[in-house]
Amino acid sequence: MAPPQNSEEHPEPARVADPSPLIWLGGGLPPRFRWVSPSLVQALGHPLEAWRTRGFVSQLVHPEELGGLLEAWGAVARTGEPRTLELRALSAEGRPVRLAVELSAVEPSPDGTGELIGTVRVLSPPHPPEGVEHTAPSIDEMLQEITRTQRMHEELIDAIDGIVWETDANFRFTFVSKQAERILGYPIHQWLEDPGFWLKHLHPEDRDWASAYCMKSAKECMAHEFEYRMVAANGTSVWLRDIVTVVSENGVPRQLRGIMVDVTAQRRAREDLEQTVSLLRATLDSTADGIIVLTQDWRVTAVNGRFQKLWSIPDAMLEGRDGRVLSEYMRAQMENAEQVHPRTQQLLASPEQEGVDVLELRDGRFIERYSRPQRLGDTVVGRVWTYRDVTVERRAQAESERLLREAREAIRVRDDFLSIASHELKTPLTPLKLHLQVLKHRMDSGQPVPAQHVDKALTQVARLSGLINDLLDTSRIQAGRLELRNEPVSLGALTHEVLADLRAVSPHRSLEYEEPAEPLLIQGDHGRLAQVLVNLLENALKYSPTGGTIRVRVERDGAQALVSVSDSGIGIPADQKALLFERFFRARNAPISGFGGLGLGLYICRDIVERHGGRIWVESEVGHGSTFHFTLPVLEDEAAATPPETALHPR
């Protein structure tokens, strides 16, 4: 491409043509001159500084023609299509001067701010100022001026960081600026001599589409811009951004002009950036943690799918990218929002700070939140929030803590039991040994043996065997081997028997019995049910150290027989009632020193009652006595009773 020149193709003899090329370069909106050839400065007389000032165009051009110039300027800057127009300008002395101006784009831009070259011809010169003689320049002067201006023009084009070019309509280069050698490494003459130079040196992957695209745009006389690769002389690929204008005549493309700018570095940077972004995206999406990144003014800059899933965030809400809205939505799901909120505020107030918190959700989940600042260089530009579901770990931790507590409790109970059991088993042995020694002494000395010593020894033996039986029953229950008989049992008769036996051993205690209004038959193990009643009565006696009446009531309650044993003894602390029927449990107001016992009786009672299909519970108030109740299903029809050999509710 030849640099735009003052065209003298159609000289009009009627007009006075200035032989030296008058050129300016300018651009922007509103247009402004950036460079003006000395010849033009001289022709119109305005000082160079005036040309450079903003708004000089409107001072220079006659107001009636200003509109036309600005319109043409904008169109050429946008489309790259050159235009020529005539207009009146004002010389420095204020005389109107007719000018012909050819506008061409150096670099068209869609917004009309691109750089233009204006080539000016003076059609009617200003009258020389009064008293100054106008002498026409000599041929030599004119030639010098032309050469000088042309050189400047070439320097200007070569200084442009890109290949300025011009081709004919067949893409054969007619001009290429010197930068071509630097950028692609081929000597300029190759560009100009080889008619297929451009096509040949297009990168094979871009050749087809780039040439087709350029050809189509040229055919349609459309200015265009595109990026493609050319293969440089050293074999490397060079990315070029080519900005092309089409010079046409009557809709037929004649020439193409443009600038190829080397954008390899930008392309590489862009590719690197895309690679980094895609890597980050993939990392973000494949992590098991929910991640969201917020700017300091709460805009969402990144978020992953896991975050959305963890908090069940609707797509529409996420699209809003408003961190405050999301935060509200998340807060509503939290159980401990009130505790977490101040922590969040604290983190937001100190951008440098990192923090870990555990969020408890209303649906039972635990989420660990980790937060750290997002930095750009040294500046904190936002905050990264990471969320991890730690429900399973939390539950496992709670479970292992519970097991540890239970194990410790079990060890404590075992140790207590060993000390209680040894104490309890040893207690009857001392009196038993004493009674036996008395008996032996008497027998050795031929004295009569008093029956009370034998009875007392037998009482201690009974106590020992009771303790041992309780231990054996407990281990049978534990092993699921406590066997129960299964036969019709009259509850009234059973109670009578038990009370009669008890009265015989505790004649001084007051025992009252309230019988049922009707005979009550139940199905079960007579001996074991008697054991339950004996245990409750013995406890009632034992835990009423100051005496008081023990009341037994048997009644019918719907389909159940209800047995109640009341005393007016020490009672049971409210918080201990639930544990009373557990193995080895003894209420804290029943110290071993005051009341013997292994804490097994009620445990055995509960097992027996429940295996009969009943229930056992206690009502009590400390210091005011206790009432133990148990129920058993009434046998309505004796004939329907299960044969005795069938075991009851085996566990």
Contacting positions for ligand ADP (CB under 6 A): 535, 539-540, 543, 567, 569-572, 580, 585-587, 590, 597-603, 626
Min separation Cβ 527 and ligand ADP, Å: 18
Q: Which is nearer to ligand ADP, 290 or 597 (CB)?
A: 597
CB 118 within 8 A of CB 70: no
Min separation Cβ 411 and ligand ADP, Å: 20
Min separation Cβ 480 and ligand ADP, Å: 20
Q: Other CB atoms closer than 10 Å to residue 567's CB: what's the count? A: 25
Min separation Cβ 423 and ligand ADP, Å: 12
d(CA 103, CA 115) in angstroms, rounded, equals: 10
Min separation Cβ 306 and ligand ADP, Å: 54
Q: Which is nearer to ligand ADP, 49 or 575 (CB)?
A: 575
Residue 88, exposed/middle/buried by CB under 10 A (0-12, 13-18, 19+)? middle
How does strand 290-295 pair with strand 379-389? antiparallel
558: left (phi over 0), alpha (psi -120 to 50) or beta: left
Q: Other CB atoms closer than 10 Å to residue 176's CB: what's the count? A: 23
Q: Which is nearer to ligand ADP, 442 or 509 (CB)?
A: 509
Query: Which residues, including other chains, have CB under 8 Å from residue 443's CB and lie 6 or more apart?
Result: 449
d(CA 562, CA 633) in angstroms, rounded, equals: 9
Min separation Cβ 608 and ligand ADP, Å: 13
Min separation Cβ 613 and ligand ADP, Å: 21
Min separation Cβ 555 and ligand ADP, Å: 20
Q: Which is nearer to ligand ADP, 36 or 587 (CB)?
A: 587
CB 246 within 8 A of CB 218: yes
Min separation Cβ 512 and ligand ADP, Å: 15
Min separation Cβ 364 and ligand ADP, Å: 36
Min separation Cβ 606 and ligand ADP, Å: 9
Which two three-digit tokens encode residue 22? 């008058």
- How many whole angstroms from its chain centre is CA 429? 71
d(CA 143, CA 543) in angstroms, rounded, equals: 136
Angstrom distances, CA of residue 618 to CA of 173, 576, 578: 110, 11, 9
Q: Which is nearer to ligand ADP, 118 or 601 (CB)?
A: 601
Min separation Cβ 604 and ligand ADP, Å: 8
- Report which of 83, 121, 97 is spatially closest to residue 7, judged by C-alpha positions: 121
Q: What is the layout of strands, in order, in the sheet containing 355-360?
A: 300-303, 290-295, 379-389, 366-376, 355-360
Q: Which is nearer to ligand ADP, 162 or 571 (CB)?
A: 571
d(CA 588, CA 598) in angstroms, rounded, equals: 13
Q: Which is nearer to ligand ADP, 137 or 573 (CB)?
A: 573
- How many whole angstroms from its chain centre is CA 287? 10
Q: Which is nearer to ligand ADP, 276 or 422 (CB)?
A: 422
Min separation Cβ 521 and ligand ADP, Å: 27
Q: Other CB atoms closer than 10 Å to residue 87's CB: what's the count? A: 20
Q: How many residues does the chain have?
A: 651
Q: Which is nearer to ligand ADP, 416 or 487 (CB)?
A: 416
Query: Which residues, including other chains, have CB under 8 Å from residue 216's CB and lie 6 or more apart?
Result: none
Q: Which is nearer to ligand ADP, 386 or 531 (CB)?
A: 531
d(CA 513, CA 505) in angstroms, rounded, equals: 17
Min separation Cβ 571 and ligand ADP, Å: 6
Angstrom distances, CA of residue 443 to CA of 171, 430, 432, 596: 144, 20, 16, 33
Dihedrals phi, psi of 27, to nearest 5 degrees: 180, -175
CB 526 within 8 A of CB 494: yes
Q: Other CB atoms closer than 10 Å to residue 525's CB: what's the count? A: 22
Q: Which is nearer to ligand ADP, 563 or 570 (CB)?
A: 570
Q: Which is nearer to ligand ADP, 15 or 553 (CB)?
A: 553
Q: Which is nearer to ligand ADP, 97 or 600 (CB)?
A: 600
Q: What is the layout of strands, in order, in the sheet containing 115-124?
A: 32-36, 22-27, 115-124, 96-107, 83-90
CB 628 within 8 A of CB 616: yes
Q: Which is nearer to ligand ADP, 37 or 539 (CB)?
A: 539
Q: Other CB atoms closer than 10 Å to residue 392's CB: what's the count? A: 10
What residue number has its CB nearest to ligand ADP? 597
d(CA 186, CA 174) in angstroms, rounded, equals: 15
